[in-house]
């Protein structure tokens, strides 16, 4: 039977998990009393020092694991005219994550490519090059341009991911044009299936509006029980083909992710064990 784990993206913005007075540096430890897995987003914005990962290893129980997003220059998000030494960048990133690797807490590297990264020969070759550079680690791919899953490319995309031994990331997100992908319920790697819930905020997905932070608007969404129920048979389907299924809620804005993650865990009948002891709120 597959192991199914549910968590959220990041651990700092979920105030409903933390009692009054919890310091920022203690939040991961508290988070790990609620969920067995988390996505690391800060690694997308900077190559983090090893001491960060060492601290996270200490703050989490043995059963806990991390899904880490590589630096934005590694996935093509960072648009700049300045030359980028990608070989050096990949080497620095690989070195930085070694505390997680040594502690056996790295679940996967999540290569999430940008909405303009379409299905072309050049981009296929780049994904393959990323996989070769990170050949020693579990490798997940999330495409955000619809062309990868158009009818003429869908099966070829999945076959490509199988060939390079990459996990296909299933996404729930607004369907608002080429910069969003449909739900493709398929398993590309027998070891791991990864599912990410981005919310269904159609109006904010592409244009958050003048003066508004894109993240505060884009992921502002709370799933209803009916919407989550649509996913129960899909999770059961991929669980029949993959040894592990990891589910991440990225609808962080407004504090909805942790609530939906707990709700969906209950709907799947999950009772994670081995987590950190839960703190008691006395007043």
Q: Which two tokens stand for residue 111?
A: 């290569």
Q: Which two tokens stand for residue 24?
A: 């920022």
| DSSP characters over 131-160 | HHHTTTS-EEEE--SGGGGSTTTHHHHHHH
Q: Which two tokens stand for residue 76?
A: 């093509």
In whole angstroms, give the CA distance from residue 38 to residue 56.
Answer: 11
In whole angstroms, give the CA distance from residue 196 to residue 169.
Answer: 7
Q: Measuring CA to CA, which residue among 8, 31, 9, 2 is closest to residue 19?
A: 31
**pLDDT at position 1, please?**
59
**Is the pLDDT score of 211 beyond 50?**
no
pLDDT digits (tens, 9 = 90+) for 85-140: 789 999 999 999 999 999 999 999 999 999 999 999 999 999 999 999 999 999 99
So where are the chain's domains?
3-267
User: What residue has token string 């601290």?
Assistant: 55
Q: Give residue 201's pLDDT band: very low, low, confident or very high (50, 70, 90).
A: confident
CATH number, domain 3-267, options 3.30.70.20, 3.20.20.410, 3.60.70.12, 3.40.50.620: 3.20.20.410
In whole angstroms, give the CA distance from residue 251 to residue 196.
Answer: 9
């Amino acid at each position: 039977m597959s192991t199914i784990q549910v968590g959220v993206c990041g651990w700092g913005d979920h105030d409903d998990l933390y009692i009054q007075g919890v310091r920022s540096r203690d939040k991961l430890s508290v988070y790990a009393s609620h969920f067995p897995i988390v996505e690391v987003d800060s690694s997308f914005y900077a190559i983090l020092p090893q001491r960060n990962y060492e601290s996270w290893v200490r703050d989490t129980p043995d059963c806990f694991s991390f899904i880490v997003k590589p630096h934005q220059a590694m996935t093509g998000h960072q648009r700049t005219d300045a030359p980028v030494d990608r070989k050096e960048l990949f080497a620095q990133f690989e070195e930085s994550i070694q505390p997680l690797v040594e502690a056996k807490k790295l679940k996967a590297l999540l290569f999430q490519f940008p909405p303009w990264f379409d299905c072309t020969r050049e981009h296929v070759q780049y994904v393959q090059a990323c996989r070769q550079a990170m050949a020693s680690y579990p490798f997940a791919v999330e495409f955000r341009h619809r062309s990868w899953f158009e009818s003429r490319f869908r099966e070829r995309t999945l076959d490509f991911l199988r060939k390079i031994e990459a996990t296909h990331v299933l996404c729930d997100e607004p369907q608002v044009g080429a910069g969003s992908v449909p739900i493709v319920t398929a398993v590309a790697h027998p070891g791991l299936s990864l599912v990410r819930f981005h919310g269904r905020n159609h109006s904010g997905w592409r244009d958050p509006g003048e003066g508004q932070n894109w993240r505060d608007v884009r992921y502002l969404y709370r799933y209803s029980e009916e919407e989550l129920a649509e996913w129960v048979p899909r999770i059961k389907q991929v669980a029949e083909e993959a040894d592990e299924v990891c589910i991440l809620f990225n609808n962080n804005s407004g504090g909805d992710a942790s609530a939906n993650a707990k709700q969906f865990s209950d709907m799947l009948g999950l009772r994670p064990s081995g987590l950190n002891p839960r703190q008691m709120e006395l007043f």
